[in-house]
Structures are given as structure tokens and as C-alpha cells.
Amino acid sequence: MAYFLFFLLSVVCVAAVLGMIISKNQAYSALFVILAFTCTGGFFALLDAPFIAVIQIIIYAGAIMVLFIFVIMMVDVHKGIAPEKKKWTPVFASGIAVVLLIELIIALKMAFNPLNTSSSQTIGNPSDLGHLLFTKYLYPFEITSILIITALVGAIILVKKKEKE
């Protein structure tokens, strides 16, 4: 069952990313990405991280992507002249990216002992997570709140139209 779910989700996920790459319309791209993120949430659930899975779906697939959709609505993508030159850059880059993939897989094989697959104990208990978050990681947690406030204020100030004009 778990195997089936994993393979189903992987196929959907990779297909969604490919769809995002191919689709001409930004809105479709964004929807594909939502699909991919939802699949990632499924992987998190498979990996004993229910809390993170929920967060992933709510914040990433929900909040963040809604922001993207809004911005896509506000921006006319087809405006502007895009001189079609340097066709080789994406091809070359993709080649290099594949090389990177191979390198990383080799690195994985070399660097790690076979991953500990037999670990069957459940670790992702949300209450444990919360406990850890408010004890060991209290300060980073608090600092994150400041960060978010700052980002919020910053975003508003950046986008606000100047009164004069």
C-alpha cells in the first residue's frame, strides 16, 4: 500500500513539475506547482511527519501559492520584448543540471551508509514537535516571528504607491 502510494505520488509530482515547465500560461504553471506541493505534503505524511505535511499543504500549497496567483493576475506576462537569442543557454544549463544530478547520486552512494530503513518508531508526534519548538528552539522560533513581521511591513512599503504620483 505504502509502495503504491509512494509511486503514485512520485509520478504525479514529477509530471506536475514537468507540466509546470511546459505550460505556456503562468496560471497553469502555478496550479501545477500547487499539485506538486500537495504531493510533497503526501511524502511528508509517508515519512512520519504529519504536522509538517499539514503545514506544507496549508502554507505552501495554500497561502504562498495564492499569493503567486494574485501576482500573476496583476501582471501582464506577455508585455515587453523578449529578444529570442542565446537559445543554447537553457539546453546547456539542462545538461549541466543532469550532470549535477548524477554527481549528487554518486555522492549519496559514497557518503552514506545504507539509510536506516528499519527505523519503525514513530517520531513525528505533533506534541513532541511542539515541545521541542518551545524549549530547544524557542529563540529561533521567536526570531522567526520578527522576521515575518519585518517581511510583511517590508512588502507593504515596497509595493505601496507613492502618494505624490
Residues of span 62-91 touching another protein by CB under 8 A: 63-64, 67-68, 71-72, 74-75, 77, 79-83, 89-90
Binding to another protein by residue 150, rule CB under 8 A? Answer: yes
Q: How many residues bind another protein (CB under 8 A)?
A: 88
Residue from 8, 106, 138, 142 touching another protein (CB under 8 A): that is 106
Q: Are 41 and 21 in contact (CB under 8 A)?
A: no
Residue from 8, 98, 138, 142 touching another protein (CB under 8 A): that is 98
Instruction: Give the helix, strand, coil percentages of the chain, each rounded to 5.
Output: 75, 0, 25
Tell the burial category of 12 from Cβ atoms under 10 Å away from its Cβ (0-12, 13-18, 19+): middle
Q: Please state the closest distance from residue 163 (CB atom) to another protein, in A.
A: 15
Task: Rank residues 94 and 164 by Cβ distance to another protein and give the closer one.
Answer: 94
Binding to another protein by residue 3, rule CB under 8 A? Answer: yes
Q: Is 119 left (phi over 0), alpha (psi -120 to 50) or beta?
A: beta
Query: How far apart, in whole angstroms, are the C-alpha atoms of residue 29 and residue 154?
Result: 27
Query: Of 6-25, which residues contact another protein (CB under 8 A)?
Result: 6, 10, 13-14, 17-18, 20-21
Query: How far apart, in whole angstroms, are the C-alpha atoms of residue 23 and residue 31?
Result: 10
